Amino acid sequence: MFVELAEKARIALCDKYSLTELTVEWRRPQDKSHGDAATAIALQLAKNLKKKPQEVAQVLCDVLKQCATVEKAEVAGAGYVNVWLTPEALIAELRNTEAACVARPQKNGPVIIDYSQPNIAKPLGVHHILSTVIGQCLCNIHRHLGYSVVGWNYIGDWGTQFGKLAVAWKKWSKGKPVQEHSLDELLELYVRFHAEAEKTASLEDEARAAFLKLEQGDKELRSFWEGVVRVTKSSLASIYERLHVRFDTDIGESFYEDKMQPILEEGRKKKVFVPGKEGSLIVEFNEAQKLPPFLVQKGDSASLYATRDLAQIRYRIDTYHPQAILYVVDVAQQLYFQQLFKTVERLQWKLPLLEHVVFGRMRFADQSMSTRKGTVLKLEHVLDEAVARAAEVIAEHRDSIQTDDEKALAEMMGTGALVYGILSQNRRMDLVFDWKKVLALEGNSAPYLQYTHARAHSVLRKAGVTDPAAPEKVPALTVHERSLVGTLLRFAEVLEDARAQRMPHTLANYLCELCQEFNSFYNTEPILKAEGATKALRLSLTALSVRVLKTGAELLTLRVPERM
């Protein structure tokens, strides 16, 4: 932000204090009474220069006052410099915000983002939405900012549960082909297996034997397994589509079955994997690392989740040469990922950045939504409930909400409310999900964002313009205009912060703030009834607000209506 200003300040300070290298960072002050831009450079320099910060700040201030783009500059607090720009300069800066609404060409990366990761043969539970939407949002933001991304749904399509399912299917499906089962029926078979295994212990042995046969490539079991994977994937597809979630690959755990042996050998040779109890292989960490031993092979030689992840890192490096791999997985696996990352360091692989993008647990404020005894709450049901509740909100506000397609709006609002309710909270904390809050037309919610977008859009529609330009001669700015401009100017910075910290809520909260700024502008300044340059300016600010809201919302996987 404020490139020209930064350059002027740099030259001035370098001249005055004979410096050769300097970067002057300007930020938008939180407090609006501190101007349009502020820098702490004087505070940073003063110590080395053996000067008082205020003195250095004053030097900078005096130079800036001479600039044509600066309306006012002052020293504040311990040595900050606050600057007010001329209206022309501020409006010209909005170019950067326009540019930030366009996806950049993909020159960085690739970044692999591992997210959603459901287990096959089970419907998505409500908790799956966290990884799914946080991961998709991070994919979207990275792509938008010029990274090539491999969005990876690492499905849990391997493990002893397939042995159980195969036994249950054989015994109780009366010859019905596996492909003709619904996901719920597969789940029922699985549940029944556990119930019956309590009475008949030998079932567990049968299941183990079936899985072993599957691992050895038994034709019939293999085609059963493929059927189960197909049924699950096609049932997931419709939910992913409703959520605007799209993956580049869904290579799952089964893929690594034949890729683990070389790694186990490598680890043994490098003495990173050492014998543990009963013929197992483990990794031991030193005192300082404070990690418990990591099991990479069980005593019965069966492979593990961990071993598959090791093979997967190797495969991802060799196939994609990624710059980073982000694992969007809940806090329960924190220790696991620490052990996994330390293990690959010990193997001395040349590694990309490996990062566990952790998130907390989700809890419903409404008790009736908490998990019903023993069964998981299905994501599809929660989505349907969100849409039904959104339809109620629309019905209650028939006089103020306008739409030609109530059903489509309810879907957009309901799914949006659910997703935004998650993405607007700091992912590191446990999440409290409150239907009332997420569906409110006012406040930090998807409906508020959607409503504001529609409202701004309708101004443009009534004015009969789509892409109005700012006037050549910019009039003096009112308080609300200045404040809206200031918020619009932060967009690029917010996107980069959200990406660098992998924090979708930074973007969500910014969009909410922009809505508030737009609404106070809209409520105080006449737009359609204004004239000349003032009208042109207000229309251009409205159009840019529309663009930023739409761009930002879509990065969060939301959709916004043109009418509402």
371 vs 524, which CB is nearer to ligand ARG? 371
Q: How far apart are CA 562 and CA 564, in angstroms?
A: 7
Q: How far is the CB of 317 from ligand ARG (least distance, A)?
A: 14
119 vs 458, which CB is nearer to ligand ARG? 119
Backbone phi and psi for residue 352, each to the nearest 5 degrees, phi listed first: -75, 175
Q: How far is the CB of 191 from ligand ARG (least distance, A)?
A: 18
Q: How far is the CB of 472 from ligand ARG (least distance, A)?
A: 54
CA-to-CA separations, 186 to 45, 163, 480, in angstroms, rounded: 67, 13, 58
Backbone phi and psi for residue 152, each to the nearest 5 degrees, phi listed first: -120, 115
Q: How far is the CB of 327 from ligand ARG (least distance, A)?
A: 5
Contact in structure between 307 and 282 (CB atoms under 8 Å) = no
Q: How far is the CB of 287 from ligand ARG (least distance, A)?
A: 27
Contact in structure between 110 and 100 (CB atoms under 8 Å) = no
Q: How far is the CB of 310 from ligand ARG (least distance, A)?
A: 10
| Residue that has been written with the tokens 């020159």 in this structure | 107
**Residue 156 token pair:** 């849990």
Which residues on adjacent β-strands are paired with residue 542? none
108 vs 119, which CB is nearer to ligand ARG? 119
Question: What residues line the site for ligand ARG (CB under 6 A)?
Answer: 114, 117, 119, 154, 156, 309, 327, 329
| Residue that has been written with the tokens 């755990």 in this structure | 253
Q: How far is the CB of 94 from ligand ARG (least distance, A)?
A: 41
Length of the chain: 564
Q: How far apart are CA 139 and CA 247, in angstroms?
A: 9
115 vs 147, which CB is nearer to ligand ARG? 115
Cα-Cα-Cα-Cα dihedral sign, residues 166, 172, 173, 175: positive
CA-to-CA separations, 553 to 452, 510, 511, in angstroms, rounded: 12, 11, 8
82 vs 116, which CB is nearer to ligand ARG? 116
Residue nearest to ligand ARG (CB): 117
231 vs 329, which CB is nearer to ligand ARG? 329
Q: How far is the CB of 125 from ligand ARG (least distance, A)?
A: 10
Radius of gyration over every alpha carbon of the chain, rounded to an integer in angstroms: 29
**Residue 428 token pair:** 């590191």
β pairing state of 108-114 and 147-152: parallel
117 vs 487, which CB is nearer to ligand ARG? 117
278 vs 318, which CB is nearer to ligand ARG? 318
Per-position DSSP letters for 281-307, written without gaps between them? EEE---GGG----EEEE-TT----HHH
Q: How far is the CB of 51 from ligand ARG (least distance, A)?
A: 53
84 vs 341, which CB is nearer to ligand ARG? 341
Q: How far apart are CA 224 and CA 165, in angstroms?
A: 10
